[in-house]
Chains A and B, each alone.
Chain A
């Protein structure tokens, strides 16, 4: 079985706007083999998977399946060829039974077109046996199953369709240890039966354990291909890192005060993060690096008062914050620029002006609470110029701006009043390089004026370019702090992957 080529990609590229998500990717999967794809968030893993599964189309490149060139224009095409994908967050019908989830959209029918429940049940029982789930599970509601078992059901769905290539997108990121073990056993069994697996993960130990081949992606390019006997943890890390680190714009600065303005003590929240302690001084940029889902955004949102903590406390200017809420945070000068511009940041139906002034309408109003439109206009005009937001008319809708300029609007929204603590969550995601540098300059200037900055990013070069210290997160815990003098990409990455205790 092995050795025979099942699937090849030749020169696949994909761009979103001006950003190159994938550049000239080549890969080859043999029958009955596990090929793992390793890379940080944003390296292009998900884009690659979506292209193979038909959810996205590549700009250039060829796909061959069993020796024939194929066109995958939609998800149905991929299914017809024999490619199944199980996404990271299982996409299920929670209110329907497991049996229905296995067959929905392709029900087994009698000659009158009715659903043949007994036959469907029989086939479903066989499918579940492949993934070692008991038959009685079929009658349970999908939503009542653990995530691990939901994933197994979706794998069973793929296997039942006779899939030859199964794509597993970070399957263990939501599984418990025991569930992961079960999955690995299943993968071994599937290999025996000649099924090929594309396995996406950033957990290096498990990849080394189950893979026959490994591909490392970085910034949309394949940087290294290993076979099982050549791969080591060190070689993978080296292939993942090794980028130019830009130290060009970083400037040493004196902190305004040696006493931290904000101090977090033993902050915990069940299932999200555990025992988090750190502090930031005025004028300091504390970088936070960790993979998506490592709990970093949750800590930020707790700091901003959006999520409630289970235990621990936050001190602001030496005083404990009680009854912390977003409103309270804004009044104290703790501001948060969220991760997702589209859903958490923009008032997308409104103008640039509206978006700029939304947070501080009270400061532009007189003592009776009536908004002074002249003041509003003046303040906004000043901001548009100061932060060089490229627009002809501030009455235009915010969504008419480029992503970079939208981000500048959301950032400068908070700069109408000088922040004390500014939390930035992925401030430059999906933004072109020019605007990115402008935003980086702005962040440094803010720090120089005494603002304490918490900079969260999946973009390691960005964190290293700006931060005075980097705090690394792994699975809801802090795995270390790295000072500017001994910052290396390799070292930070290792801590974020949980490889150094």
Chain B
């Protein structure tokens, strides 16, 4: 399937896929309803937003950045979408507006990070908090409930017995796989993440790539906002509170290096499924859901630890930057000078 010279996922991603398979096997043995059609459908419906938001998160983490504001942006978009469908605006127009709002908010992040050079974690921490206040203000202390089921069919209607939303997610993943692999923009994400200085020296416009990445990430959150409304039929003030943590966890569990420069969408998708299946298992086993956060936190720690161990081995193998090559020193000693 992959030509050897086309960039492809590394061994770290296969580790996540293997763990995912083991997890599925475990739950299908020990949890009765796990493999039931209803449960699998639920997994697909519930993981859709996380799955696509994690694409944008993968982009910015490969760049060496992060985006904490995804949950707040999701909230703002969902409220706008909710109000628009209540007023009976054309669904296609609503979709375009949702993506446009998401992109504009992402663009603000991008400009703060790319132009003003504010560290991504601080920039998006700030915009996240501003965004949460906006969500609170827009809702005015009430739920936005009883929304007309304009977008609900993407969750409930099925093709070959599979919810439509699954195909939407698959389509977006395919599109971004193409961007990550076949567009110079996608490859430059990796270049900037690995060696920002060298990226400048080969004439890559890092500022532009960064701004664009955060904007695209915002646009994807716009689509996730529609999925949220379709799934819930309402918007509450705590919307998307868990989203940044879960998306970052999915990306990191999927093998993307938190230091940037390495990672893939295949890994991210595996990471998303890993987290969703785990959450599902917790519910089936009747574990109190407050443990969910603790487990996700633990998984982040384990994944990053694995990365550190792998990196140490790589550096040991590569051992560059020393004044003398070992081989040379040996030769010098043999020649006796």
Q: Which A residues are closer than 8 A to B by beta carbons?
A: 75-76, 89, 91-97, 99-100, 104-107, 109, 113-115, 117-118, 120-121, 138-139, 143-144, 147, 174-178, 270-272, 274, 293-295, 298, 475-477, 498, 501
Given contacts A96-B191, A177-B331, A476-B329, contact A115 B184 (CB under 8 A): yes
The verdict on A144 contacting B317 (CB below 8 Å), with A138-B5, A272-B323, A475-B329 known, is yes
Pair B204/A271 contact, Cβ less than 8 Å: no
CB neighbors of A among B139-198 (8 A) = 178, 181-184, 187-188, 190-191, 193-195, 197-198
Given contacts A92-B198, A93-B198, is CB(A109)–CB(B7) below 8 Å? no
Measured in the bound complex, the distance between the Cα atoms of B314 and A106 in whole Å is: 28
Q: Which residues of B contact A105 (CB under 8 A)?
A: 188, 191, 199, 202-204
Closest-by-CB residue of A relative to B257 is A95
Closest to A275 in B: B333
* Cβ–Cβ contact B182 & A115, under 8 A: yes
A271-B190 CB under 8 A given contacts A75-B201, A93-B195 = no
Point out the residue from B4, B194, B203, B337 that lies within 8 Å of A93, measured CB to CB: B194
Q: Are B327 and A176 in contact (CB under 8 A)?
A: yes
Query: Which residues on the B side are within 8 Å of A175 (C-beta)?
Result: 325, 328
Q: Are B314 and A174 in contact (CB under 8 A)?
A: no
- Tell whether, in the assembled complex, residue B5 and residue A121 are in contact, meaning their CB atoms are under 8 Å apart: yes
Q: Select from chain B the residue with minimum beta-carbon distance to A113.
A: B183
A143 touches B314 (CB 8 A): yes
A118 — which chain B residues lie within 8 A by C-beta?
3
If A97-B5, A105-B204, A117-B3 touch, whether A271 touches B261 (CB-CB below 8 Å) is: no
Complex Cα spacing A120 to B318, Å = 27
* Count of B interface residues, CB-CB < 8 Å: 45
Query: What distance in Å separates the Cβ of B50 from its nearest Cβ neighbour in chain A?
Result: 26
Set of chain B residues within 8 Å of A476, measured between Cβ atoms: 323-324, 329
B325 touches A147 (CB 8 A): yes
Residues of A close to B188: CB separation below 8 A? 104-105
* Chain B residues within 8 Å of A, Cβ to Cβ: 3-7, 178, 181-184, 187-188, 190-191, 193-195, 197-199, 201-204, 261-262, 314, 317-329, 331-333, 336-337
B5, B317, B321, B331 — which one has the most chain A CB atoms within 10 A of its CB? B5
* A93/B190 contact (C-beta < 8 A), A104-B202, A138-B5, A174-B325 known: yes
Chain A residues lying within 8 Å of B183, measured Cβ to Cβ, are 113-115
Contact, CB under 8 Å: B328 / A295? no
A498 to B201, CA, bound (A): 35
Of A100, A271, A476, most buried by chain B (CB within 10 Å of CB) is A271
Complex CA–CA separation, A94 to B184 (angstroms): 18
- CB-CB under 8 A from B178, the residues of chain A are 114
The interface residues of chain B lying within 8 Å CB-to-CB of A109 are: 184
Count chain A CB atoms within 10 A of each CB in B203, B324, B326, B332 and give the residue with the most: B324
> Which 6 A-B residue pairs are closest in the complex by CB-CB distance?
A105-B202, A293-B323, A176-B327, A114-B182, A95-B194, A271-B322
Q: A91-B195, A115-B183 are in contact. List 9 more A-B contacts (CB 8 A).
A: A91-B201, A94-B318, A104-B199, A106-B202, A107-B187, A121-B5, A177-B328, A271-B322, A272-B323
Which A residue's beta carbon lies closest to that of B336? Answer: A501
**Structural contact, B195 and A92, CB atoms closer than 8 A:** yes
Q: B202: shortest Cβ distance to chain A, in Å?
A: 3
CA distance A272 to B194 in the complex (A): 27
With both chains docked as a complex, state the minimum distance between the C-beta of B245 and any C-beta of chain A, in angstroms. 26
User: In the assembled complex, how far is the CB of residue B129 from the closest CB belonging to chain A, in whole angstroms?
Assistant: 26
The CA of A426 and the CA of B262, in the complex, are separated in Å by: 38
B187 touches A100 (CB 8 A): yes
Chain A residues in 8 Å Cβ range of B337 = 498, 501
The answer to whether A270 and B326 touch across the interface, beta carbons within 8 angstroms, is yes
Q: Given that A104-B187, A144-B317 are contacting pairs, would A271 and B326 also be in contact in the complex, using a CB cutoff of 8 Å? A: yes
Chain A's nearest CB lies how many Å from the CB of B121? 19
How far is A298 from B190 in the complex, measured between Cα atoms in Å? 33
Interface pair A99/B5, CB less than 8 Å apart: yes
Question: Do A94 and B187 touch across chains, with their CB atoms under 8 A apart?
Answer: no
Asked if A272 and B4 sit within 8 Å, CB to CB, the answer is: no
Chain B residue nearest to A75 in the complex (CB): B201
Q: Given the complex of chains A and B, what is the CA–CA distance between A298 and B323 in angstroms?
A: 10
Option from A89, A92, A95 in Cβ contact (under 8 Å) with B262: A95
Q: How far is the CA of A132 from the CA of B225 in the complex (A)?
A: 54
CA distance A147 to B323 in the complex (A): 12
Q: Which of B184, B188, B317, B333 has the most CB of A within 10 A?
A: B184
Partner of B333, one of A89, A114, A274, A298: A274
- What CA separation (Å) do A406 and B178 show in the bound complex? 53
